[in-house]
Amino acid sequence: MTNLFLPILILLLGILFLFRGKRSTDAFLRGAKNGLSAAVSLFPTLLLFLTAVSLFRASGAAELITVWLSPLCRVLHIPSELLPLLFTRPISGSASTAVLSDLFSQYGADSRVGFAASILAGSSETMLYVLALYCTGKGERSRHMRHVFPAAFLTTLFVTALSLAAANWFYRSV
């Protein structure tokens, strides 16, 4: 039944368009045109972010920063194995999902690392992608970029600290 859901939905929408008349079709075409133009305007920004993320990962900078921050992680009771996830989650959703999958396969989903990684991945957002969407527009939104980035960065730091504290608290109580 789930294999038929999408074809049935498309068929029902097509029938709805036929019975409702020309206005529905025009609205659909107008929405598709607007969506396509939005995707085209976002493409350069997304390409820039994807290139930057790829360069960051390929350069070995993430591993170097992980080595440098491991002593601080021990003091703060944060598993140092989470550092690659902490770095990739605000930048790229797909990269952080790959890191999360690696953490699960290496340490297990029920381990302390897997537990903390699950809470962190579920409670954070890909900040730079959202900023790219928000600030690519013209006019009022892009003018306030200087306020948006610091607020998004501080929110990311707060959510990260809160999710790690919650992971430590819940894991000890389980």
Gap between the Cα atoms of 97 and 89, Å rounded: 8
Give residue 156's domain range. Answer: 42-173
> For the chain, what is the radius of gyration of the CA atoms?
21
Residue 73, in any domain of the structure:
yes
Does 90 reside within a domain? yes
In a domain, 25, yes or no: no
Is 67 a domain residue? Answer: yes
Residue 71: inside a domain: yes
Supply the pTM of this predicted model: 0.64
Number of domains within the chain: 1
- Alpha-carbon distance of 65 to 57, in angstroms, equals 11
Tell me the pLDDT of the chain (174 aa) as tens digits. 678 888 888 888 878 777 776 677 777 788 889 888 877 877 787 777 777 767 877 888 877 888 898 898 888 888 888 988 888 888 777 778 888 888 999 999 888 899 999 998 888 888 877 777 766 665 555 566 677 778 888 888 898 889 888 888 887 765
89 close to 126: Cβ distance less than 8 angstroms = yes
Both tokens assigned to 31: 């929405």
116 belongs to a structural domain: yes
Asked, for residue 15, whether it belongs to a domain, the answer is no
Residues in the chain: 174
Residue type, 169: W
Q: Pick the closest to residue 169 from 115, 99, 89, 100 (CA basis).
A: 115
Q: Hey, CA dihedral for 104, 109, 113, 118, is it positive or negative?
A: positive
Q: Are 167 and 160 in contact (CB under 8 A)?
A: no
In a domain, 5, yes or no: no
